[in-house]
Amino acid sequence: MSSDVHTQPLLDAREVTVRFGGLTAVDHVDAVFMPGELVGIIGPNGAGKTTFFNAISGVIRPTSGRLMVEGRDLSGQAPHRFAARGLARTFQTPRVFGDMPVRENIAFGLQFAGRRPRKYWLWGEEASVPWALRTPESILSLIGLSAQADLPAAAITPSQQRLLEIGMALATRPRLLLLDEVAAGLTEVEVEAMARLIRRLRDELDLTVVWIEHAVTTLLRHVERVIVLHQGRKIADDVPAAVVRHPEVIEAYLGDEMAEEAAA
């Protein structure tokens, strides 16, 4: 593989703007995500975080701007086009099939991956798929839900449903995983466990992970880079240690007390 493949962004969002009527929810945001990065996105309620996620995953069409996935322009394309290029995402409210067993929820994601065009007629693309993502059982083992495989998804706990949704996203064999507040409603211990799982998935599966979260201190401990949105604009994009000292971030979001705690 040539070196320039490694330096090409997996996702390059350029001047992305989303307007709803007179409201500008995302305002000319630039963001570049490189292969293997673990990036956090933080900001106050109404900052435009989820709208930005919706725009970069094709869920909503940006009013203006460009979205390049591995150099290919996907601006204005439908979500399945982004999924076919290796983008997978979770939602703030877990979207699982409640009446289907946990294992079948994962199998559904694997079926989607199987519908992608196969490059090699005889052996498909399985050769490049990590062992951990090959079967429902291997994915359930990875996310710690093996014991719940036969239960209906509606019968497992909310925190387990969040894990299941991550498993369903992983089943599509993504290269870029977008996580929207997967720690919402979890206890402190569960939040920390979730953060460790996210790091492990990135490391073991060679994923790029972009994670929106309100549990800021946990996120800052685990990510390598942080993007801060405020009123739809990007006000910071740097390593956590620099972001928590950024005057505009402290003023708009963290406050002195939280910034000190995060810095510590």
Spatial CA neighbour of 182 closest among 204, 160, 201: 160
> Which single residue is written with the structure tokens 């387990």?
160
The answer to whether the Cα torsion of 203, 204, 207, 210 is positive or negative is negative
Question: What's the pLDDT at 258?
Answer: 65
Question: What's the pLDDT at 263?
Answer: 64
- As a whole number of angstroms, the distance between CA 140 and CA 64 comes to 39
CB 90, CB 182: distance < 8 Å: yes
Query: Structural domain boundaries of the chain?
Result: 3-86+174-263, 98-173
Question: What's the pLDDT at 217?
Answer: 86
- As a whole number of angstroms, the distance between CA 34 and CA 6 comes to 8
Architecture of domain 3-86+174-263 in CATH?
A: 3-Layer(aba) Sandwich (3.40)
Question: What's the pLDDT at 253?
Answer: 78
> Which single residue is written with the structure tokens 């294992």?
103
Question: What's the pLDDT at 6?
Answer: 55
What residues of the chain score a pLDDT lower than 70?
1-6, 113-128, 255-264
- As a whole number of angstroms, the distance between CA 14 and CA 129 comes to 30
* Sequence letter at residue 166: I
Residue 111, classified by CB atoms within 10 Å of its CB into exposed (0-12), middle (13-18) or buried (19+), is: exposed
CB 69, CB 10: distance < 8 Å: yes
DSSP 3-state of 157: coil
Q: How confident is the model over 187-216, as pLDDT tens digits?
A: 889 999 999 999 999 999 989 999 998 878
Question: What's the pLDDT at 113?
Answer: 66
131-136: long-range pairs with CB below 8 Å, 24+: 132/204, 132/205, 133/170, 133/171, 133/173, 133/205, 135/110, 136/103, 136/104, 136/106, 136/107, 136/110, 136/171
Question: What's the pLDDT at 2?
Answer: 40
